[in-house]
Structure 1
Protein backbone atom coordinates (compact mmCIF):
# COMPACT_ATOMS: atom_id res chain seq x y z
CA UNK A 1 0.00 0.00 0.00
CA UNK A 2 1.23 3.48 -0.79
CA UNK A 3 1.92 5.46 2.40
CA UNK A 4 3.80 8.46 1.02
CA UNK A 5 5.09 9.99 -2.19
CA UNK A 6 7.40 12.80 -3.24
CA UNK A 7 7.27 14.41 -6.66
CA UNK A 8 10.51 16.05 -7.81
CA UNK A 9 11.83 17.51 -11.06
CA UNK A 10 14.62 15.67 -12.85
CA UNK A 11 16.87 18.15 -14.69
CA UNK A 12 20.50 16.99 -14.66
CA UNK A 13 21.36 20.59 -13.76
CA UNK A 14 20.27 19.78 -10.21
CA UNK A 15 23.66 18.04 -10.00
CA UNK A 16 26.25 20.81 -9.48
CA UNK A 17 28.92 18.97 -11.48
CA UNK A 18 26.61 18.91 -14.50
CA UNK A 19 25.75 22.58 -14.01
CA UNK A 20 29.49 23.41 -13.98
CA UNK A 21 28.89 25.15 -10.65
CA UNK A 22 26.33 25.38 -7.88
CA UNK A 23 23.60 26.81 -10.17
CA UNK A 24 22.18 28.88 -7.28
CA UNK A 25 18.96 29.50 -9.20
CA UNK A 26 18.17 25.85 -8.41
CA UNK A 27 18.99 26.05 -4.70
CA UNK A 28 15.33 26.43 -3.76
CA UNK A 29 14.41 23.39 -5.85
CA UNK A 30 17.17 21.32 -4.25
CA UNK A 31 16.03 22.37 -0.77
CA UNK A 32 12.42 21.47 -1.57
CA UNK A 33 13.50 18.05 -2.87
CA UNK A 34 15.44 17.41 0.36
CA UNK A 35 12.38 18.41 2.38
CA UNK A 36 10.21 16.06 0.33
CA UNK A 37 12.60 13.17 0.93
CA UNK A 38 12.39 13.91 4.64
CA UNK A 39 8.63 13.44 4.42
CA UNK A 40 9.16 10.07 2.73
CA UNK A 41 11.55 8.93 5.46
CA UNK A 42 9.15 10.07 8.19
CA UNK A 43 6.46 7.80 6.73
CA UNK A 44 8.65 4.80 7.68
CA UNK A 45 8.21 2.88 4.43
CA UNK A 46 9.56 -0.62 4.03
CA UNK A 47 10.16 -0.09 0.30
CA UNK A 48 10.97 2.98 -1.83
CA UNK A 49 10.42 2.90 -5.58
CA UNK A 50 11.89 5.66 -7.73
CA UNK A 51 9.77 6.22 -10.84
CA UNK A 52 10.81 8.30 -13.84
CA UNK A 53 10.77 8.39 -17.60
CA UNK A 54 12.70 5.66 -19.38
CA UNK A 55 15.01 5.99 -22.35
CA UNK A 56 12.67 3.95 -24.56
CA UNK A 57 9.06 2.74 -24.73
CA UNK A 58 7.46 0.45 -22.19
CA UNK A 59 8.67 -0.22 -18.67
CA UNK A 60 12.00 -1.29 -17.25
CA UNK A 61 12.79 -2.19 -13.66
CA UNK A 62 16.10 -1.34 -11.98
CA UNK A 63 17.32 -3.10 -8.82
CA UNK A 64 18.95 -1.59 -5.80
CA UNK A 65 22.58 -1.01 -6.65
CA UNK A 66 21.89 -0.09 -10.27
CA UNK A 67 24.42 2.46 -11.42
CA UNK A 68 24.32 5.53 -13.60
CA UNK A 69 26.59 8.34 -14.60
CA UNK A 70 26.35 11.79 -16.18
CA UNK A 71 29.06 11.15 -18.76
CA UNK A 72 26.57 12.04 -21.48
CA UNK A 73 26.53 15.57 -20.05
CA UNK A 74 30.30 15.92 -20.05
CA UNK A 75 31.10 15.03 -16.45
CA UNK A 76 32.30 11.89 -14.72
CA UNK A 77 29.85 12.06 -11.81
CA UNK A 78 28.42 8.63 -10.99
CA UNK A 79 25.49 7.54 -8.84
CA UNK A 80 24.18 4.33 -7.33
CA UNK A 81 20.51 3.60 -6.70
CA UNK A 82 20.35 2.85 -2.98
CA UNK A 83 22.96 0.44 -1.61
CA UNK A 84 25.85 -0.49 -3.85
CA UNK A 85 25.35 -3.59 -5.96
CA UNK A 86 27.00 -6.88 -5.07
CA UNK A 87 30.23 -7.40 -6.95
CA UNK A 88 29.64 -9.23 -10.21
CA UNK A 89 26.11 -7.87 -10.63
CA UNK A 90 24.93 -8.03 -14.23
CA UNK A 91 22.07 -6.85 -16.39
CA UNK A 92 21.00 -3.68 -18.11
CA UNK A 93 21.05 -1.59 -14.96
CA UNK A 94 24.81 -2.01 -14.52
CA UNK A 95 25.81 -1.87 -18.21
CA UNK A 96 28.21 1.10 -18.48
CA UNK A 97 27.40 1.59 -22.17
CA UNK A 98 23.66 1.96 -21.69
CA UNK A 99 22.29 5.44 -22.36
CA UNK A 100 23.49 8.90 -21.44
CA UNK A 101 23.68 8.08 -17.75
CA UNK A 102 25.14 4.60 -17.82
CA UNK A 103 22.63 2.03 -16.56
CA UNK A 104 19.96 4.32 -15.17
CA UNK A 105 17.94 6.62 -17.39
CA UNK A 106 18.44 10.32 -16.71
CA UNK A 107 15.39 10.74 -14.50
CA UNK A 108 16.36 7.85 -12.22
CA UNK A 109 20.00 8.95 -12.13
CA UNK A 110 18.89 12.35 -10.82
CA UNK A 111 16.64 10.58 -8.31
CA UNK A 112 19.58 8.44 -7.16
CA UNK A 113 21.65 11.62 -6.75
CA UNK A 114 18.94 13.22 -4.60
CA UNK A 115 18.84 10.14 -2.38
CA UNK A 116 22.61 10.26 -1.99
CA UNK A 117 22.43 13.90 -0.88
CA UNK A 118 20.19 13.01 2.07
CA UNK A 119 22.06 9.74 2.82
CA UNK A 120 18.85 7.77 2.33
CA UNK A 121 18.74 4.72 4.60
CA UNK A 122 15.07 4.54 5.53
CA UNK A 123 14.15 1.61 3.25
CA UNK A 124 15.45 -0.54 0.38
CA UNK A 125 15.26 1.17 -3.01
CA UNK A 126 14.39 0.06 -6.52
CA UNK A 127 13.61 1.93 -9.71
CA UNK A 128 11.08 1.85 -12.54
CA UNK A 129 11.43 3.62 -15.86
CA UNK A 130 8.26 4.25 -17.86
CA UNK A 131 8.18 5.39 -21.46
CA UNK A 132 6.99 8.93 -22.12
CA UNK A 133 4.50 7.52 -24.61
CA UNK A 134 3.04 5.03 -22.12
CA UNK A 135 -0.75 5.22 -22.06
CA UNK A 136 -2.70 6.18 -18.98
CA UNK A 137 -3.95 2.67 -18.33
CA UNK A 138 -0.43 1.24 -18.59
CA UNK A 139 0.73 3.81 -16.02
CA UNK A 140 -2.18 2.98 -13.70
CA UNK A 141 -1.36 -0.72 -13.93
CA UNK A 142 2.28 -0.04 -13.09
CA UNK A 143 1.24 2.06 -10.09
CA UNK A 144 -1.11 -0.59 -8.76
CA UNK A 145 1.59 -3.22 -9.07
CA UNK A 146 4.03 -1.03 -7.12
CA UNK A 147 1.49 -0.38 -4.35
CA UNK A 148 0.92 -4.12 -3.98
CA UNK A 149 4.61 -4.93 -3.50
CA UNK A 150 4.64 -4.24 0.23
CA UNK A 151 2.52 -3.07 3.16
CA UNK A 152 4.28 0.33 3.32
CA UNK A 153 5.47 1.56 -0.06
CA UNK A 154 6.81 5.05 -0.77
CA UNK A 155 7.34 6.60 -4.19
CA UNK A 156 9.89 9.13 -5.40
CA UNK A 157 8.36 10.38 -8.65
CA UNK A 158 10.79 12.13 -10.98
CA UNK A 159 9.40 14.29 -13.77
CA UNK A 160 9.33 17.81 -15.16
CA UNK A 161 6.33 19.81 -16.27
CA UNK A 162 6.34 21.59 -19.65
CA UNK A 163 9.55 22.61 -21.41
CA UNK A 164 7.89 25.41 -23.39
CA UNK A 165 7.53 28.31 -20.98
CA UNK A 166 9.80 30.84 -22.76
CA UNK A 167 11.38 31.42 -26.15
CA UNK A 168 14.68 30.12 -24.71
CA UNK A 169 13.11 26.94 -23.35
CA UNK A 170 14.12 23.60 -24.88
CA UNK A 171 10.73 23.41 -26.62
CA UNK A 172 10.48 27.15 -27.39
CA UNK A 173 7.45 29.16 -26.24
CA UNK A 174 4.02 27.56 -26.31
CA UNK A 175 1.20 29.67 -24.91
CA UNK A 176 -0.50 26.55 -23.52
CA UNK A 177 2.47 25.61 -21.33
CA UNK A 178 1.84 27.93 -18.37
CA UNK A 179 -1.76 26.76 -18.06
CA UNK A 180 -0.74 23.11 -18.24
CA UNK A 181 1.85 23.60 -15.50
CA UNK A 182 -0.56 25.54 -13.29
CA UNK A 183 -3.09 22.72 -13.56
CA UNK A 184 -0.46 20.06 -12.88
CA UNK A 185 0.68 21.97 -9.79
CA UNK A 186 -2.92 22.22 -8.57
CA UNK A 187 -3.52 18.50 -9.05
CA UNK A 188 -0.32 17.51 -7.26
CA UNK A 189 -1.04 19.92 -4.41
CA UNK A 190 -4.50 18.41 -3.98
CA UNK A 191 -3.41 14.77 -4.43
CA UNK A 192 -6.12 14.69 -7.10
CA UNK A 193 -5.94 11.17 -8.51
CA UNK A 194 -8.80 11.49 -11.05
CA UNK A 195 -7.41 14.82 -12.23
CA UNK A 196 -3.95 13.40 -12.84
CA UNK A 197 -5.43 10.50 -14.75
CA UNK A 198 -7.33 12.97 -16.93
CA UNK A 199 -4.18 14.79 -18.07
CA UNK A 200 -3.98 14.83 -21.86
CA UNK A 201 -1.05 12.63 -22.89
CA UNK A 202 -0.97 14.14 -26.38
CA UNK A 203 -0.79 17.68 -25.05
CA UNK A 204 1.88 16.65 -22.56
CA UNK A 205 4.02 15.29 -25.41
CA UNK A 206 3.56 18.49 -27.42
CA UNK A 207 4.66 20.53 -24.40
CA UNK A 208 7.51 18.13 -23.64
CA UNK A 209 6.13 17.50 -20.14
CA UNK A 210 8.08 14.36 -19.25
CA UNK A 211 6.40 14.09 -15.84
CA UNK A 212 3.00 13.10 -17.19
CA UNK A 213 3.61 9.33 -17.25
CA UNK A 214 5.35 9.14 -13.84
CA UNK A 215 2.60 11.31 -12.31
CA UNK A 216 0.00 8.89 -13.64
CA UNK A 217 1.95 5.96 -12.17
CA UNK A 218 1.65 7.80 -8.86
CA UNK A 219 -2.08 8.20 -9.41
CA UNK A 220 -2.41 4.47 -10.06
CA UNK A 221 -0.50 3.64 -6.88
CA UNK A 222 -2.46 6.13 -4.77
CA UNK A 223 -5.96 4.97 -5.65
CA UNK A 224 -7.82 4.34 -2.39
CA UNK A 225 -4.85 5.34 -0.21
CA UNK A 226 -6.50 8.55 1.01
CA UNK A 227 -3.33 10.64 0.90
CA UNK A 228 -3.26 14.44 1.21
CA UNK A 229 -1.00 16.61 -0.92
CA UNK A 230 1.16 19.68 -0.44
CA UNK A 231 3.05 21.71 -3.03
CA UNK A 232 6.53 22.68 -1.81
CA UNK A 233 7.97 24.37 -4.90
CA UNK A 234 6.82 25.71 -8.26
CA UNK A 235 8.98 27.64 -10.73
CA UNK A 236 10.20 27.57 -14.32
CA UNK A 237 13.93 28.37 -14.49
CA UNK A 238 15.30 27.93 -17.99
CA UNK A 239 11.71 27.91 -19.28
CA UNK A 240 10.97 24.44 -17.87
CA UNK A 241 8.30 23.84 -15.24
CA UNK A 242 9.69 22.30 -12.05
CA UNK A 243 7.34 21.09 -9.31
CA UNK A 244 8.01 19.56 -5.91
CA UNK A 245 5.11 18.05 -3.97
CA UNK A 246 4.51 15.53 -1.22
CA UNK A 247 1.62 13.17 -0.60
CA UNK A 248 1.23 11.70 2.87
Structure 2
Protein backbone atom coordinates (compact mmCIF):
# COMPACT_ATOMS: atom_id res chain seq x y z
CA UNK A 1 0.00 0.00 0.00
CA UNK A 2 1.35 3.42 -0.93
CA UNK A 3 2.41 5.47 2.05
CA UNK A 4 0.47 8.69 2.52
CA UNK A 5 2.53 11.92 2.47
CA UNK A 6 3.67 13.28 5.82
CA UNK A 7 0.95 15.30 7.52
CA UNK A 8 -1.84 13.64 5.52
CA UNK A 9 -4.07 11.06 7.15
CA UNK A 10 -4.88 8.30 4.71
CA UNK A 11 -8.65 7.79 4.81
CA UNK A 12 -9.29 4.15 5.65
CA UNK A 13 -13.02 4.79 5.73
CA UNK A 14 -13.96 4.47 2.07
CA UNK A 15 -17.68 5.04 2.45
CA UNK A 16 -20.63 4.43 4.75
CA UNK A 17 -24.28 3.61 4.23
CA UNK A 18 -26.44 4.92 7.07
CA UNK A 19 -29.67 2.92 7.24
CA UNK A 20 -32.62 2.65 9.68
CA UNK A 21 -32.63 0.05 12.41
CA UNK A 22 -36.22 -1.07 11.87
CA UNK A 23 -36.86 -4.72 11.03
CA UNK A 24 -39.66 -3.47 8.77
CA UNK A 25 -37.07 -3.00 6.04
CA UNK A 26 -37.10 -6.77 5.55
CA UNK A 27 -40.19 -7.91 3.58
CA UNK A 28 -42.53 -10.11 5.57
CA UNK A 29 -42.05 -8.32 8.87
CA UNK A 30 -44.57 -5.52 8.43
CA UNK A 31 -47.52 -7.35 6.90
CA UNK A 32 -50.05 -4.82 5.66
CA UNK A 33 -47.83 -1.92 6.74
CA UNK A 34 -45.09 -3.00 4.32
CA UNK A 35 -46.03 -0.21 1.92
CA UNK A 36 -45.18 2.38 4.58
CA UNK A 37 -41.47 1.54 4.37
CA UNK A 38 -41.13 0.60 0.70
CA UNK A 39 -39.37 3.87 -0.11
CA UNK A 40 -36.99 3.52 2.83
CA UNK A 41 -36.19 -0.07 1.83
CA UNK A 42 -35.42 0.95 -1.75
CA UNK A 43 -33.21 3.79 -0.55
CA UNK A 44 -31.39 1.56 1.95
CA UNK A 45 -30.62 -1.01 -0.75
CA UNK A 46 -29.41 1.77 -3.06
CA UNK A 47 -27.16 3.19 -0.35
CA UNK A 48 -25.56 -0.17 0.43
CA UNK A 49 -25.04 -0.91 -3.27
CA UNK A 50 -23.40 2.50 -3.80
CA UNK A 51 -20.88 2.09 -1.01
CA UNK A 52 -20.04 -1.49 -1.98
CA UNK A 53 -19.25 -0.22 -5.49
CA UNK A 54 -16.14 1.48 -4.08
CA UNK A 55 -14.53 -1.97 -3.82
CA UNK A 56 -13.46 -1.93 -0.17
CA UNK A 57 -11.06 -4.42 1.39
CA UNK A 58 -13.35 -4.81 4.38
CA UNK A 59 -17.05 -4.40 5.16
CA UNK A 60 -18.23 -3.88 8.72
CA UNK A 61 -21.63 -3.34 10.32
CA UNK A 62 -22.11 -0.96 13.25
CA UNK A 63 -25.48 -1.17 14.98
CA UNK A 64 -27.26 -0.39 18.25
CA UNK A 65 -27.98 -3.18 20.70
CA UNK A 66 -28.83 -3.80 24.33
CA UNK A 67 -25.22 -4.78 25.05
CA UNK A 68 -21.88 -4.15 23.41
CA UNK A 69 -20.30 -7.06 21.55
CA UNK A 70 -18.68 -7.88 18.24
CA UNK A 71 -18.61 -10.77 15.80
CA UNK A 72 -15.88 -11.62 13.30
CA UNK A 73 -16.68 -13.85 10.36
CA UNK A 74 -20.04 -15.17 9.18
CA UNK A 75 -23.21 -14.38 11.10
CA UNK A 76 -26.78 -15.54 10.60
CA UNK A 77 -29.30 -12.76 10.01
CA UNK A 78 -32.33 -14.16 11.78
CA UNK A 79 -35.05 -11.78 12.93
CA UNK A 80 -36.40 -14.17 15.53
CA UNK A 81 -35.42 -11.55 18.09
CA UNK A 82 -38.15 -9.34 16.63
CA UNK A 83 -40.66 -12.16 16.95
CA UNK A 84 -40.63 -12.99 13.24
CA UNK A 85 -39.89 -16.62 12.25
CA UNK A 86 -37.40 -16.98 9.42
CA UNK A 87 -40.00 -18.74 7.27
CA UNK A 88 -42.19 -15.61 7.24
CA UNK A 89 -39.52 -13.37 5.71
CA UNK A 90 -39.69 -12.38 2.08
CA UNK A 91 -35.90 -12.54 1.85
CA UNK A 92 -33.80 -15.64 2.40
CA UNK A 93 -32.05 -15.57 5.76
CA UNK A 94 -28.31 -15.25 5.01
CA UNK A 95 -25.60 -16.99 6.99
CA UNK A 96 -24.80 -20.54 8.12
CA UNK A 97 -27.35 -22.15 10.42
CA UNK A 98 -24.72 -22.62 13.14
CA UNK A 99 -23.35 -19.06 12.89
CA UNK A 100 -23.94 -16.59 15.72
CA UNK A 101 -27.08 -14.47 15.49
CA UNK A 102 -26.56 -10.74 16.08
CA UNK A 103 -29.18 -8.30 17.37
CA UNK A 104 -32.10 -7.32 15.16
CA UNK A 105 -30.57 -4.04 13.94
CA UNK A 106 -27.39 -5.84 12.86
CA UNK A 107 -29.43 -8.57 11.19
CA UNK A 108 -31.21 -5.95 9.09
CA UNK A 109 -27.84 -4.71 7.81
CA UNK A 110 -26.73 -8.25 6.99
CA UNK A 111 -29.96 -8.75 5.03
CA UNK A 112 -29.32 -5.57 3.06
CA UNK A 113 -25.75 -6.62 2.27
CA UNK A 114 -26.94 -10.03 1.09
CA UNK A 115 -29.59 -8.50 -1.17
CA UNK A 116 -26.85 -6.36 -2.72
CA UNK A 117 -24.74 -9.40 -3.54
CA UNK A 118 -22.26 -9.15 -0.69
CA UNK A 119 -21.37 -11.98 1.62
CA UNK A 120 -21.38 -11.78 5.38
CA UNK A 121 -19.60 -8.68 6.69
CA UNK A 122 -16.06 -9.06 7.95
CA UNK A 123 -17.12 -7.72 11.33
CA UNK A 124 -20.31 -6.81 13.17
CA UNK A 125 -19.97 -4.33 16.02
CA UNK A 126 -22.90 -3.69 18.35
CA UNK A 127 -22.82 -0.68 20.67
CA UNK A 128 -24.99 0.82 23.38
CA UNK A 129 -25.97 4.38 24.10
CA UNK A 130 -24.46 4.10 27.58
CA UNK A 131 -20.95 3.75 26.19
CA UNK A 132 -18.90 6.96 26.57
CA UNK A 133 -18.58 8.94 23.35
CA UNK A 134 -14.78 8.98 23.54
CA UNK A 135 -14.73 5.19 23.65
CA UNK A 136 -17.04 4.99 20.64
CA UNK A 137 -14.83 7.38 18.69
CA UNK A 138 -11.77 5.23 19.42
CA UNK A 139 -13.70 2.14 18.36
CA UNK A 140 -14.50 3.77 15.01
CA UNK A 141 -10.87 4.66 14.38
CA UNK A 142 -9.76 1.12 15.20
CA UNK A 143 -12.46 -0.39 13.01
CA UNK A 144 -11.03 1.17 9.83
CA UNK A 145 -7.34 0.97 10.73
CA UNK A 146 -6.51 -2.20 8.79
CA UNK A 147 -7.39 -1.07 5.26
CA UNK A 148 -10.03 0.61 3.09
CA UNK A 149 -13.31 -0.16 4.82
CA UNK A 150 -16.99 0.34 4.09
CA UNK A 151 -19.34 0.68 7.05
CA UNK A 152 -23.04 -0.07 7.16
CA UNK A 153 -24.15 2.08 10.06
CA UNK A 154 -27.56 1.21 11.49
CA UNK A 155 -29.68 3.56 13.57
CA UNK A 156 -32.68 5.86 13.46
CA UNK A 157 -33.86 9.27 14.54
CA UNK A 158 -36.48 9.79 17.26
CA UNK A 159 -39.32 7.35 17.88
CA UNK A 160 -41.43 10.01 19.60
CA UNK A 161 -43.42 11.68 16.83
CA UNK A 162 -47.17 12.05 17.29
CA UNK A 163 -49.89 9.88 18.79
CA UNK A 164 -49.03 6.81 16.72
CA UNK A 165 -45.39 6.71 17.80
CA UNK A 166 -43.96 3.64 19.58
CA UNK A 167 -43.25 5.93 22.56
CA UNK A 168 -44.99 9.03 23.90
CA UNK A 169 -44.81 12.11 21.72
CA UNK A 170 -42.10 14.59 22.68
CA UNK A 171 -42.03 18.18 21.33
CA UNK A 172 -38.21 18.13 21.35
CA UNK A 173 -38.06 15.35 18.76
CA UNK A 174 -38.59 17.38 15.56
CA UNK A 175 -35.82 19.84 16.41
CA UNK A 176 -33.21 17.22 17.22
CA UNK A 177 -34.17 15.11 14.21
CA UNK A 178 -33.92 18.08 11.86
CA UNK A 179 -30.49 19.06 13.20
CA UNK A 180 -29.10 15.52 13.05
CA UNK A 181 -30.51 14.87 9.57
CA UNK A 182 -29.01 18.12 8.28
CA UNK A 183 -25.57 17.30 9.64
CA UNK A 184 -25.64 13.66 8.53
CA UNK A 185 -26.53 14.78 4.99
CA UNK A 186 -23.68 17.31 4.82
CA UNK A 187 -20.91 16.05 7.15
CA UNK A 188 -18.60 19.04 7.11
CA UNK A 189 -16.15 19.36 10.00
CA UNK A 190 -18.58 21.72 11.74
CA UNK A 191 -21.48 19.33 11.19
CA UNK A 192 -19.50 16.42 12.58
CA UNK A 193 -18.58 18.49 15.63
CA UNK A 194 -22.28 19.15 16.22
CA UNK A 195 -23.10 15.45 15.91
CA UNK A 196 -20.35 14.64 18.39
CA UNK A 197 -21.80 17.20 20.79
CA UNK A 198 -25.29 15.67 20.90
CA UNK A 199 -25.92 14.69 24.50
CA UNK A 200 -26.38 10.93 24.91
CA UNK A 201 -28.98 11.54 27.62
CA UNK A 202 -31.09 13.60 25.20
CA UNK A 203 -30.70 11.00 22.48
CA UNK A 204 -31.80 8.27 24.89
CA UNK A 205 -34.77 10.29 26.12
CA UNK A 206 -35.96 10.79 22.54
CA UNK A 207 -35.26 7.16 21.55
CA UNK A 208 -32.66 8.12 18.94
CA UNK A 209 -31.06 4.72 18.31
CA UNK A 210 -28.47 6.13 15.93
CA UNK A 211 -26.51 8.11 18.51
CA UNK A 212 -23.94 5.44 19.46
CA UNK A 213 -23.39 4.09 15.91
CA UNK A 214 -22.99 7.66 14.64
CA UNK A 215 -20.24 8.28 17.19
CA UNK A 216 -18.41 5.21 15.88
CA UNK A 217 -18.79 6.59 12.35
CA UNK A 218 -17.38 9.95 13.44
CA UNK A 219 -14.33 8.17 14.83
CA UNK A 220 -13.90 6.23 11.60
CA UNK A 221 -14.14 9.39 9.50
CA UNK A 222 -11.86 11.52 11.66
CA UNK A 223 -9.41 13.48 9.53
CA UNK A 224 -11.06 12.57 6.22
CA UNK A 225 -12.88 14.98 3.91
CA UNK A 226 -16.33 13.49 3.59
CA UNK A 227 -19.30 14.14 1.33
CA UNK A 228 -22.79 13.06 2.35
CA UNK A 229 -26.21 12.71 0.80
CA UNK A 230 -29.73 12.15 2.08
CA UNK A 231 -31.50 9.46 0.06
CA UNK A 232 -34.78 9.17 1.95
CA UNK A 233 -36.52 10.26 5.15
CA UNK A 234 -39.90 9.18 6.51
CA UNK A 235 -41.85 8.79 9.75
CA UNK A 236 -43.92 5.62 9.44
CA UNK A 237 -46.03 5.09 12.56
CA UNK A 238 -44.40 7.99 14.39
CA UNK A 239 -40.79 6.77 14.22
CA UNK A 240 -38.34 8.84 12.17
CA UNK A 241 -36.02 6.97 9.82
CA UNK A 242 -33.57 8.22 7.21
CA UNK A 243 -31.02 6.87 4.74
CA UNK A 244 -27.71 8.60 3.96
CA UNK A 245 -24.43 7.86 2.22
CA UNK A 246 -21.00 9.15 3.15
CA UNK A 247 -18.01 9.00 0.79
CA UNK A 248 -14.50 10.07 1.64
CA UNK A 249 -12.62 12.20 -0.86
CA UNK A 250 -11.87 10.30 -4.05
CA UNK A 251 -13.88 7.24 -3.04
CA UNK A 252 -17.28 7.94 -4.61
CA UNK A 253 -18.38 5.35 -7.15
Instruction: Normalising by structure 1, report the TM-score.
Output: 0.86
**1:124 to partner: Cα distance:** 5.0
**1:118 to partner: Cα distance:** 1.6
Q: 1:111-154, CA deviations, whole angstroms, 9 ceiling, x for partnerless residues?
A: 11111222225x9532100012112111101101112122x111
State how many pairs are aligned: 228
Q: Which residue does 2:212 correspond to in 1?
A: 213
**1:67 to partner: Cα distance:** 1.7
Which of 169, 173, 176 is the matching residue for 2:172?
176
Q: Which residue does 1:69 correspond to in 2?
A: 78
**1:6 to partner: Cα distance:** 0.8
Secondary structure in 2 aligned to 1:188?
helix
**1:72 to partner: Cα distance:** 3.4
**1:108 to partner: Cα distance:** 0.2
Secondary structure in 1 aligned to 2:204?
helix
**1:68 to partner: Cα distance:** 3.6
Secondary structure in 1 aligned to 2:56?
coil
Gaps of 5+ in 2: 1-11, 87-91, 248-253
Counterpart mapping for 1:1-248 below 5 A: 1-21=12-32, 23-56=34-67, 59-77=68-86, 79-80=93-94, 84-85=95-96, 94=100, 103-121=101-119, 125-150=122-147, 152-191=148-187, 192-248=191-247
Q: Decide whether the 8 Å contact of 2:140 with 2:220 is kept in 1.
A: yes
**1:212 to partner: Cα distance:** 0.4
CA distance in 1, matches of 2:110, 2:196: 26
Gaps of 5+ in 1: 95-102
CA distance in 1, matches of 2:171, 2:199: 16
CA distance in 2, matches of 1:6, 1:71: 24
Secondary structure in 2 aligned to 1:69?
coil
User: How big is the alpha-carbon RMSD for the aligned residues of Structure 1 and Structure 2?
Assistant: 1.8
- Greater Cα offset, 185-194 or 19-28: 19-28
**1:21 to partner: Cα distance:** 4.8
Displaced runs of 4 or more, over 3 A: none
Instruction: Normalising by structure 2, report the TM-score.
Output: 0.84
**1:63 to partner: Cα distance:** 2.0
Q: Decide whether the 8 Å contact of 1:164 with 1:173 is kept in 2.
A: yes
C-alpha spacing 1:149/1:235, structure 2 compared with 1 (3 Å): same
Q: 1:23-75, CA deviations, whole angstroms, 9 ceiling, x for partnerless residues?
A: 1111110111111012211211110110001222xx31112311242223332
Q: 1:171-230, CA deviations, whole angstroms, 9 ceiling, x for partnerless residues?
A: 111000011111110110111321211111110000010100001110110011111111
